[in-house]
């Protein structure tokens, strides 16, 4: 069984990917410093799969400790989720973001080269497209000047990976540009665990419905969209997780591939108000919300062209927006307010 190192494997997307790797016959090995996750995720993973996954509580920037993981296991590929991801916080703490996001990638690549590990799948983001001139966005759409240090770390990381793959034929990588991940595992054993007040729409909705937050503010209804609220491409986290397995298989099959990039979204845009209405429909809960001011820095509309990922990777989404919001709500109902 092939060992796949999953950094950030206790986090939201990482934990769902651990399940899909296991389902596909891989042995995921998790490295996570638990800076934005909890060890209880491992119990959820065991309840879903019946397996105790190997887990190391290590910071990816701690090169010596991290090296021991490579020494202890024969690693056949790495999926690198570990990063900080709060856009607003990155403006206040740019050095922490560059150090953690770019630094951990550099440490990882150094170790992969030292230990002769070839394959990397990297978590990038649709944030690299900024406000797109044309929709849907393809992988060829121009990257825009990043609006935050967080966004810039994703651009810089893609460049570090591409440059390394050019310089070293035995380092091969795929960057996946995620659109907006939502939902949870249908078992409700794992899901998103936002610490504190969520910035993202769906956790804010579910927490409002659960009575943790008083009211949702819809940030603006005067955009040039169907109902005036912003448009995003919301993808179920299980579909997103499966894209990593497909990417790994693709890298393995195509030994000459040095670097490639894929959009991972549904290909469809939904407005904030559509999300609110669909949530009310699937949950049966009336949401307390109001229309507020635009949020500074928000993109008016973005959604993915997924032709390349579906044709090249043979991957497509299987879950609907209703599935996503049902699973998010069922997951929310398992949480206690102190998380
Ligand atoms: P998350 O915070 O739930 O998961 C990240 C995990 O990495 C956490 O468990 C955290 O403890 C761990 N971590 C952070 N820094 C680490 C370090 N130095 N060493 C070891 N572990 C570390 O976030 P997520 O939503 O699962 O995101 C995963 C990846 O996907 C990130 O790279 C993120 O930037 C990217 N991404 C996320 C979204 C999104 O909206 N969730 C969208 C696009 C891209
Ligand atoms: C979605 C929509 C808000 C909260 C962020 C990052 C991006 C990427 C994904 C990682 C927007 C609206 C939200 C609320 C609202 N992350 N909204 N009320 O802005 O697409 O992207 O997460 O790479 O980098 O910037 O996601 O969930 O914050 O917002 O009306 O309380 O919901 O205005 O239109 P976003 P989001």
| 246 & 135 share domain | yes
Cβ atoms of residues 219 and 230 within 8 Å? yes
Residues 314-336: pLDDT tens digits?
Answer: 999 999 999 999 999 999 999 98
Domain that holds residue 324: 201-232+267-334
Residue 111 lies in a domain: yes
Instruction: For residue 195, report the phi and psi dihedrals to the nearest 5 degrees.
Output: -90, 125
Residues 226-246: pLDDT tens digits?
Answer: 999 999 999 999 999 999 999
| 139 & 253 share domain | yes
Q: What is the ipTM of this complex?
A: 0.98
Would residue 84 show up in a list of annotated catalytic residues for this protein? no
Query: Parallel, antiparallel, or unpaired for β 289-292 and 216-219?
Result: parallel
| 41 & 101 share domain | yes
Residues 208-219: pLDDT tens digits?
Answer: 999 999 999 999
Kindly report the number of other CB atoms within 10 A of residue 213's CB atom: 17
Looking at every residue in the chain, the average pLDDT score rounds to 97
Residues 151-190: pLDDT tens digits?
Answer: 999 999 999 999 999 999 999 999 999 999 999 999 999 9
| 71 & 177 share domain | yes
Model confidence at 338, pLDDT cuts 50, 70, 90, reads: low
| 16 & 161 share domain | yes
Candidate from 31, 34, 36 with most ligand 1 atoms within 8 A of CB, to mutate: 36
Query: What's the CATH number where 74 sits?
Result: 3.40.50.720
Candidate from 219, 231, 266, 269 with most ligand 2 atoms within 8 A of CB, to mutate: 219
| 314 & 248 share domain | no
Length of the chain: 339
| 170 & 291 share domain | no
Residues 87-110: pLDDT tens digits?
Answer: 999 999 999 999 999 999 999 999
């Amino acid at each position: 069984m092939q060992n796949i190192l999953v950094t950030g494997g206790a986090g939201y997307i990482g934990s769902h990917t651990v399940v899909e790797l296991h389902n596909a016959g891989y042995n995921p090995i998790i490295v996570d410093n638990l800076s934005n996750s909890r060890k209880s995720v491992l119990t959820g993973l065991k309840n879903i799969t019946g397996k105790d996954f190997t887990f190391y509580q290590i910071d990816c920037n701690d090169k010596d400790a991290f090296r021991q993981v490579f020494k202890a296991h024969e690693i056949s590929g790495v999926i690198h989720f570990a990063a900080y991801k709060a856009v607003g916080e990155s403006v206040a703490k740019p050095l922490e973001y560059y150090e953690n996001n770019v630094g951990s990638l550099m440490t990882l690549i150094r170790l992969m080269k030292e230990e002769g590990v070839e394959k990397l799948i990297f978590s990038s983001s649709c944030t690299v497209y900024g406000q797109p001139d044309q929709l849907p966005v393809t992988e060829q759409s121009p990257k825009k000047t990043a609006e935050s240090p967080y966004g810039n770390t994703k651009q810089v990381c893609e460049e570090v990976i591409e440059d390394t793959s050019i310089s070293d034929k035995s380092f091969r990588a795929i960057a996946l540009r995620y659109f907006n991940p939502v939902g949870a595992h249908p078992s409700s054993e794992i899901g998103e665990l936002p610490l504190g007040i969520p910035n993202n729409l769906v956790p804010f909705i579910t927490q409002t419905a659960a009575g943790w937050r008083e009211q949702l503010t819809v940030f603006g209804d005067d955009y040039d969209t169907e109902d005036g609220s912003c448009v995003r491409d919301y993808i179920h986290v299980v579909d997103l997780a499966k894209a990593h397995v497909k990417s790994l298989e693709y890298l393995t099959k195509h030994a000459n591939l040095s670097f490639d990039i894929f959009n991972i979204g549904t290909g469809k845009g939904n407005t904030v108000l559509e999300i609110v209405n669909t949530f009310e429909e699937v949950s049966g809960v009336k949401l307390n919300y109001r229309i507020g001011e635009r949020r500074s820095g928000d993109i008016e509309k973005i959604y993915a062209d997924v032709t390349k990922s579906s044709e090249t990777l043979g991957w497509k989404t299987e879950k609907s927006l209703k599935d996503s919001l049902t699973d998010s709500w069922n997951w929310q109902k398992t949480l206690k307010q102190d998380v």
